Structure 1
Amino acid sequence: MRVCLDTNAYSRLMGGHAPLTQLLESCEEVLFPATVLGELHAGFELGSRRETNRRQLGEFLALPGVETIPVTTDIAERYGILIGQLTGQGTPIPTNDIWIAAAALETGSRLVTYDSHFRHIHGLIVLGP
């Protein structure tokens, strides 16, 4: 299975969330959108454990099967389509989360998240509570 991690899923993983660890161990690929990296680095800069968090992230990204996903033209196009759909439905969600959803959809991966608003996105398979 191929999954895409949301920021809150990575945070729970680093906190030792056992069910999430088990899920990821069963995955062939774990994808990390550039937007998630940006959110994490912003949090690191504002937190008191900047170097520890950076080191842990670097170690995680170096694991076999973990891949970062840059923003591509296809992801950008999907982002625009999603904004149109969500606005039309009257269910807008945070901008960064639309980028994350676009990355998951374009890579054909399931999104691991603890945010319920992702369920408003047609075609996105969400794994979480």
Structure 2
Amino acid sequence: MKKFFLDTSAYSLFKRGNAALIEKIKGADEVYLNAIVIGELLAGFDGGKFREVNRRELREFLEYPMVVVTPITEETSEKYSLIYNDLKNQGTPIPTNDLWIAASVMETGTCLMTADQHFQKVRQIQMDFTPHLPGQGARPSV
């Protein structure tokens, strides 16, 4: 079963038409996000010119049967603590929201789709790095 977890950068690349990411998402059995990712997206939308369009497209995306919004649980908090202390001991911190995302990825056993290299510091998760590329094309649908 192919299970991917999208962070904010991956969702943005998907909506910008990144062909490789679109194919991976279309081939997935389940695509996960959490409230942290959704909150980051909404904050970005609300500060932009296309607020309503972006919010509508996100709502439509979240309605797909393959999309799972995973909750932040006590188990997520345990994973957060583990990752936080491991990164602290390495001397390689990452942003707090990304710690929560990594904890959710670890909890769900998914592969993180991201364009943020700092997730490579998190030894407890599997990730698929997709760099930001110019000229991604048309906005896709799943």
Match of 1:125 in 2: 126
Matched, 1:72 2:106: no
Q: After TM superposition, give the deviation of residue 123 of structure 1 in Å.
A: 2.5
Higher relative contact order (CA 8 A, sep 6+): 2
1:34-71 Cα distance to aligned partner (Å, 9 max, x none): 11001001111111111000000001001121010111
CA RMSD across the alignment: 0.8
Q: TM-score normalized by structure 1? A: 0.97
Match of 1:17 in 2: 18
Matched, 1:91 2:99: no
Q: Secondary structure at the match of 2:112?
A: strand
Unaligned 5+ segments in structure 2 are: 131-142
Q: Secondary structure at the match of 1:99?
A: helix
Q: Secondary structure at the match of 2:92?
A: coil
Q: After TM superposition, give the deviation of residue 97 of structure 1 in Å.
A: 0.5
Q: Secondary structure at the match of 1:56?
A: helix
Q: Secondary structure at the match of 2:25?
A: helix
Q: After TM superposition, give the deviation of residue 18 of structure 1 in Å.
A: 1.0
Match of 1:81 in 2: 82
- Percentage identity across paired residues of the two chains: 44
d(CA) in 2 for partners of 1:123, 1:89: 13
d(CA) in 2 for partners of 1:69, 1:48: 29
Unaligned 5+ segments in structure 1 are: none
Match of 1:59 in 2: 60
Match of 1:114 in 2: 115
Structure 1 or 2: more helix by fraction: 1
d(CA) in 2 for partners of 1:109, 1:2: 5
Matched, 1:100 2:98: no
Q: Which amino acid aligns with 1:107?
A: T
Give matches, 1:12-51, under 5 Å: 12-51=13-52
Structure 1 runs, 4 residues or longer, greater than 4 Å off:
none
Q: TM-score normalized by structure 2? A: 0.88
